[in-house]
A and B are shown apart, each in its own frame.
Chain A
Amino acid sequence: MKTNESYEEFVKGIWRDNPVFVQVLGMCPMLAVTNSAINAIAMGMASMFVLVGSSFLVSAFRHVIPKQVRISCFIIIIATFVTIADYTLLALVPKVHKELGAFIPLIVANCLILGRQEAFASRYPTKLAVMDALGMASGFMLALFSLGAVREILGDGALFGIRIFSENFEPWIVMILPPGGFLTLGVILLFFNWFKYKKDEFLADVAKAERGGG
């Protein structure tokens, strides 16, 4: 029962409640740093670290933090983790840090992270909060990666910097420019909504058939 519950909290963030494709949160980093797969992964990892760390602390101290000052406390906790991620990336992978630039400090303002603290971590036990954070962060990273991969393949003819097309391929430069982010995200959201629509239609059909049969 317990494992099922935490498994459920983990899985929901990846697909059913995917923070980007379903909740449409965290659009700033989503559009800004997904011009290559490696940037997307780095951003995803940094966000995951911040989200999991903050969710753990917020959930552990949920009885201690007075309701009136909870948002300030959440932000202090989030900002601390972001600063840690910022300096760690700068020390370990300066090249990636240079590419992500201002978007690492801006993780503080990612509504996905504060949103999970307010909606989930501050109300549920630590274990569930961490599972929820892991799931949401994985979903976020999956979304960043799918955008980053599509944009890098089409815009640069490469994935993770490795060329995958022959020299004859003319890169669609627009894909690694900001409009490419909007285009790709639009197409992916279209697919998700179409999928949901079809699923609802299918479930309605099944229900109808069952009613008709029984």
Chain B
Amino acid sequence: MSSDALKQVAAPSSLRLVLTLAIAGLVSGVAIIGIYESTLPTITANKARELREAVFKVLPGVSQMQALVYRDGSIMAVAEPEKDELVVYGGYDEQGDFVGYAMPGAGPGFQDTIAILYGYVPQQKQVVGMEVLESRETPGLGDKIYKDAEFVAEFSGLSVEPEIVAVKKGTSTQPNEVDAITGATISSKAIVRIINETHTAWTGQLPAPGSEPPFADAPADSGTGQ
């Protein structure tokens, strides 16, 4: 140790310092690229699988899906949505008949943005399922929006017209009312607001019920396979 200390007393040249850092940076960069490249396929596959599972969960009876986007005034199926493009997922049954849309939505919750996916059947103008994809709500209180099975069940067969309303627990009577969670009113209302906002945003862009784009065979990487 003492010999180390002595060796370092003579100040190394600036060139050596620069070279040391440059080499360290280079090696580190190569290592990071390596790990990024080798894990990317797994990470993408995981995300696609998670999405498929969520779509199938919020749309009961669906076994195939494809991504749909709104371009040039109509809804069309795409293999790969462009970045930042708003997407809904069309859910189809085994015969390839259209069942409903799985619509991603996001909005402010109690602590951070809540991202959800909900199933919407245009024929009945009903929400048929809801899944929280991402949230940082308070553990034990706000996280009941996805841990409380009763609350999640409120979102099956829920009418979106005129709009969804969150009411005090145990007082919902109308088909468009949701029992809010006691102790998590803000989080419950956030979910309802996200669905209402997403619904309003897409109204007018979704085609009339019955004229949804048919299921294109293998249109998307996320639509088939696995």
Instruction: Give the B-binding residues of A (Cβ under 8 A).
Output: 35, 62-69, 72-73, 76-77, 79-80, 83-84, 87-88, 90-92, 94, 98, 101, 123, 155-156, 171, 173, 176-177
Contacts and interface: CB of A to CB of B under 8 A. Distances in A.
Contacts, number: 73
B16 A176 contact: no
B53 to A, nearest CB: 12
Given A92-B42, A123-B4, 6 more contacts: A68-B12, A76-B21, A76-B25, A83-B35, A91-B39, A171-B140
A72 B20 CA distance: 10
Q: Which of B4, B20, B31, B43 has the most A CB atoms < 10 Å from its CB? A: B20
B140 A176 contact: yes
A62 B36 CA distance: 28
Interface string B8-51: 10011000110011001101100110011001001100110010
A136 B193 CA distance: 48
Interface residues of B, number: 30
Given A87-B39, A91-B43, A67 B28 contact: no
A143 to B, nearest CB: 21
B4 A62 contact: yes
Contacts of B24: 72-73, 76-77
A68 B17 CA distance: 8
Contacts of A79: 28
Contacts of A88: 35, 39
B149 interface: no
Nearest to B134: A98
Nearest to A62: B4
B140 A177 contact: yes
Nearest to A85: B35
A64 B20 contact: yes
A133 to B, nearest CB: 18
A94 B50 contact: yes
Contacts of B35: 83-84, 87-88
10 contacts: A62-B4, A66-B17, A68-B17, A72-B21, A79-B28, A83-B31, A88-B35, A90-B39, A91-B39, A173-B139
B1 interface: yes
Contacts of B141: 173
A35 B139 contact: yes
A176 B139 contact: yes
Contacts of A73: 20-21, 24
